[in-house]
Amino acid sequence: MRRRGVAAGGAVLVLLLAGCSDDSGAPSPTASAVTPTVTVPTAPPAAAAAALGPTGPGTATPCRGTAIPVGADPQEVIDGQPAGTTFCFAKGVHRISRPIRPRARDTLGGGAGVVLTGSVQLDGWKRDGDRWVVRGVLPAPYELKGQCEDNKTKSCQRGEQVFVDGKHLTRVMSLGQLKPGTFFGDYSANAVYVADDPDGSVVEMSRTPTAIEKSAKNVTVTGLTIEHFASRPQGGALQVGPGWKVVANEVRWNHAVGIMVIEGDRAELSRNTVADNGQLGIGQYKSAAVRITGNLVTRNNTDGFWIADWESGGIKSTRSSGEVSGNDIVANRGIGMWSDIAEYDRRITGNRIRANAADGIRYEISYQAVIDQNVVEGNGFGTGRGSGGSLWDGGGINVNTSAGVQVRGNLVKSNRNGISIQSRTRGDGPRGTYVLADVVIEGNLVVMDNATASTGVVENKRSPSKPGAVTFRRNSYQLTDNRFAYQGKTMTWPEWQQAGFDEDSVTT
């Protein structure tokens, strides 16, 4: 028997207040002190019917300024002009052999057909049995780091990628594994091997780690395609600093992070296509009041980083604040949107987060967040090391040992789990001990079909959730079965309500 609770009087009604932050380090009242008005939903949020629209260089404003011709050293052109100049890259392929360092208020612009590449062409191939080899092209040794899906060979730690006529080859870790569509880099012998005859093809290898460095404040980057950079794990092909505007670019096929905001307070990223990067689409670190809006973030983690639990997938932010809104975060091999470690004043709103291999949204060991009006659908079905179907493995939305979090007005549909709330022992952070507290799940439409395991709260023995730490209220569930969990028990809908959750919610 399903209890229907209060009658639904209309679509979700929410009083939305934008988050803010100041230099004092004190939490804002955005997520915990404001009580919105929310009713049981009868329809999905507006994001379900919204379309992202065009992104990438084709949407950039035409560039007018000092020209950077194909073949020129961009840094020499930039250094020859005063700070605050607009530079326009000419249409064509610009091979970047050292990171570009803009000055304060510079604009680096382009348009459709302007490509900055970190690759070099590989010539001089010689046949070696049933394979081909070129020698003397690999870089000097460098520090290796990163967690890979394959934690034995650790193939993701190397930055170089190989492309044949623009097609990305998969790295293998021994000559015996070489087959069509793959390459092997023998760093001890400084040799690169491929299985396909390279004659008549353009073969390129990413070599330069970074396209543009965060060398100054208030820089604009627009209309550029940035590809084939050998960015190191956790490093970005495009670094973003304070006050930067990164608008209408395509950042693709770089080894680690496509766009990395590093101590970049008040930066803005909008209308970018961030696709097919080896580790992560967008990263944010120690950056306050950043706005990531209206971007397409898709198919990232092409180079085998750990899907379940190491900075792979769509967007990851750490020790930061700001807004992530109106983005399409789709089909990434990892978590769609991940806030982790001392996040605060975070707003995740109006995004369409679909078909990512791990959680759709994960908010972990952090403080003060509003997660609202998102479409979170079909996430969490990845396989591999650490992936699974329990609530410990996450869900469409996962709140992990965080405080002051409001999850409201979202469509959470057909994920591996619905909403997963976790209480773990995680130590202390800059705003106090990481603990599950003041988490409110309300006004969400949760669709749990035959592919969905459950929704609920899980806790380890050393960190039981305190009474009242988590509130489920005024939600609407569409169920094909009764699958809820609390205190180690699987529960039916009536049992879930008897445990004190969703007493005024409805099911169909």
Alpha carbons 198 and 218: distance in angstroms, whole number: 44
Structure token digits, residue 118: 């970190």
The DSSP string of 445-483 is: EEEE-TT---EEEEE-TTSPPPTTSEEEES-EEEESS--
Taking alpha carbons only, the member of 368, 374, 372 closest to residue 336 is 374
HSE-CB at 467 with a 13 A cutoff on CA atoms is 2
Determine the straight-line distance between the first and last CA of the chain, rounded to whole angstroms.
Answer: 11
Task: Give residue-wise pLDDT tens across range 64-114.
Answer: 999 999 999 999 999 999 999 999 999 999 999 999 999 999 999 999 999
Q: Is the pLDDT of residue 11 over 90?
A: no
What is the model's pLDDT at position 67? 98
Alpha carbons 83 and 186: distance in angstroms, whole number: 43
Exposure letters 106-122 (e unless 16+ CB within 10 A, then b): bbbbbbeebbbbbbbeb
Taking alpha carbons only, the member of 296, 318, 414 closest to residue 363 is 318
Confidence grade of residue 283 (pLDDT, cut at 50, 70, 90): very high
What is the model's pLDDT at position 131? 97
Which residues make Cβ contacts (< 8 Å) with residue 157, sequence separation at least 6? 144, 145, 146, 148, 233
Q: Is 46 helix (H, G, I), strand (E, B) or coil?
A: helix
Alpha carbons 272 and 152: distance in angstroms, whole number: 35
Q: Do 417 and 485 contact (CB within 8 A), yes or no? A: no
Q: Is 269 helix (H, G, I), strand (E, B) or coil?
A: strand
β pairing state of 119-121 and 411-413: unpaired
Confidence grade of residue 35 (pLDDT, cut at 50, 70, 90): low
Backbone dihedral region of 253: left (phi > 0), alpha (psi from -120 to 50 degrees) or beta? left
Q: In sequence order, what are the beta bridge partners of 123?
A: none
With 0-12 CB in 10 A as exposed, 13-18 as middle and 19+ as buried, what is 458?
buried
E strand or H helix at 298: strand 296-298
Angle at 452 (CA atoms; ends 487, 44), nearest 5 degrees:
105
E strand or H helix at 181: none
Task: Give residue-wise pLDDT tens across range 112-164.
Answer: 999 999 999 999 999 999 999 999 999 999 999 999 999 999 999 999 999 99
Beta-strand ranges (E) seen in 33-150 are 66-68, 86-89, 92-95, 107-109, 114-117, 119-121, 126-128, 131-135
Long-range CB pairs of 257-263 (<8 Å, 24+ gap) are 257/231, 257/281, 257/282, 257/283, 258/226, 258/282, 258/300, 259/283, 260/234, 260/235, 260/236, 260/284, 260/285, 261/285, 261/287, 261/290, 261/320, 262/214, 262/236, 262/286, 262/287, 263/214, 263/287
User: How far from chain centre, in Å, is Cα 143?
Assistant: 24
What is the model's pLDDT at position 294? 98
Phi, psi (rounded to 5 degrees) for 296: -100, 115
Confidence grade of residue 465 (pLDDT, cut at 50, 70, 90): confident
E strand or H helix at 79: helix 74-79
Out of 32-41, 169-178, 228-237, 280-289, pick the least confident: 32-41
Q: Is the pLDDT of residue 403 over 90?
A: yes
**Which residue type, as a one-letter code, is found at position 491?**
M
Q: What percent of the chain stands above pLDDT 70?
A: 93
Q: Is the pLDDT of residue 26 over 70?
A: no
Neighbours of 184 (CB within 10 A): 21
Please give the average per-residue pLDDT across 300-329, as a whole number: 97
State the residue for tokens 């670019």: 249
What is the model's pLDDT at position 28? 42
| Beta strands across the sheet bearing 170-172 | 126-128, 131-135, 191-194, 182-186, 170-172
Q: Is the pLDDT of residue 23 over 70?
A: no
